[in-house]
Amino acid sequence: MIAGFIGLGTMGGPMARNILKNGHEVVVFDVVQKAVDALAAAGARVAASPREVAQRVDYVITMLPDSPDVERVFGGPDGVLAGLRPGSVCIDMSTIDPDTTRRIGAQVRAKGAEMIDSPVGKTADAAVAGTLTLMVGGPAEVVARCRPLLDCMGSDFFHCGDLGAGQSMKLLNNLLAQTIGSASAEAMVLGTKAGLTLDLMTRVLSTTMAWNKQLEVNMPKKPLKGDFTPGFMLKLAHKDCRLALQMAHSLGVQAPIGRATFAGLEEGMQAGLKDLDVGVMLKLREEQAGVTVRISQA
């Protein structure tokens, strides 16, 4: 299979590498030349535009930051749609709003091609390992055609429904994940301010319904070690929660807790933390409370 990959960032770069490692040809494009050069050194072929990628491949994969980025890459004289071949398939693995996904999907079908959405879950480490969670939307027969490529990138596969259903699943996943993460950070800071140790809090919480993957896996890995280098950047968490709340509004669903989570992320954005890992919300709460919550290095 010949795949095109557009968007070679923190997640997209490793994902494209895993397709290469599994013996598929890959044609890449990114606006960051350093990212392109790294994939070229690994054996990928290079295209000069999204249009050229689409002209040269059977499957066009996009992994981009936001809805406007996906629309820009697909549209215009140098976009994917301008070079799309009949019978090819577009796989958008970005996290964007479902309406944009469906709108672009209609444009793709008008070109005689197909489209599925497959946003991903887990971390950059999982992108490197090829063990991402894949939340897929689209016709079953088209999804089945794409499985050899999707299986290069993920180990947990879920066909969520029609085109756009993958995006819906991803948005509610990230809204819930950030809500749990924000609440967990606040609780750890509160407990520390009250004189409790992190060790005591985690031992007690691990026996109750308060326990969660943020406390078990994510926070000990980075923020509780004082590591706020970009993994999943705060600005992307902010964007995902914004899109999730837009989806809730369009469906007439009240989301007061989600709005509170978004307000906290907005606070982090205004504090200039947007390019740091979203775990930096712990540091923000620490500074406000005048305490530090860290795993003991002893």
Confidence category of residue 294, pLDDT binned at 50, 70, 90:
very high
% of the chain beyond a pLDDT of 90: 98
Q: What's the pLDDT at 136?
A: 98
pLDDT of residue 77: 96
Q: Contact 54/88 with Cβ under 8 angstroms?
A: yes
Give the tens place of pLDDT for each residue, 218-266. 999 999 999 999 989 999 999 999 999 999 999 999 999 999 999 999 9
* Number of CB atoms found within 10 A of residue 293's CB: 24
What value, to the nearest 5°, has the Cα angle with vertex 18 and ends 13 and 24?
115
Query: Domains of the chain by range and CATH?
Result: 2-162 (3.40.50.720), 168-289 (1.10.1040.10)
CA distance 193 to 183: 15
Q: How many CB atoms lie within 10 A of CB 16?
A: 31
Residues in the chain: 298
* 292 phi and psi angles, rounded to 5 deg: -130, 130
Residue 234 contacts residue 274 (beta carbons within 8 Å): yes
CA angle 2, 76, 55 (to 5 degrees): 20
Looking at the predicted structure, is the pLDDT value of residue 268 above 80?
yes
Q: Which of 34, 111, 122, 170 is catalytic?
A: 170
Q: Are 58 and 3 in contact (CB under 8 A)?
A: yes
* pLDDT (0 to 100) of residue 1: 85
Residue 170 bears catalytic tag = yes
Look at the alpha carbons of 47, 125, 104, 22 in this order and tell me if their dihedral is positive or negative. positive
CB 82 within 8 A of CB 29: no
188-196: long-range contacts (C-beta < 8 A, 24 or more apart)?
188/219, 188/224, 188/282, 188/293, 189/282, 189/285, 189/286, 189/289, 189/291, 189/293, 190/289, 192/289, 192/291, 192/292, 192/293, 193/289, 193/290, 193/291
pLDDT over 60 at 298, yes or no: no
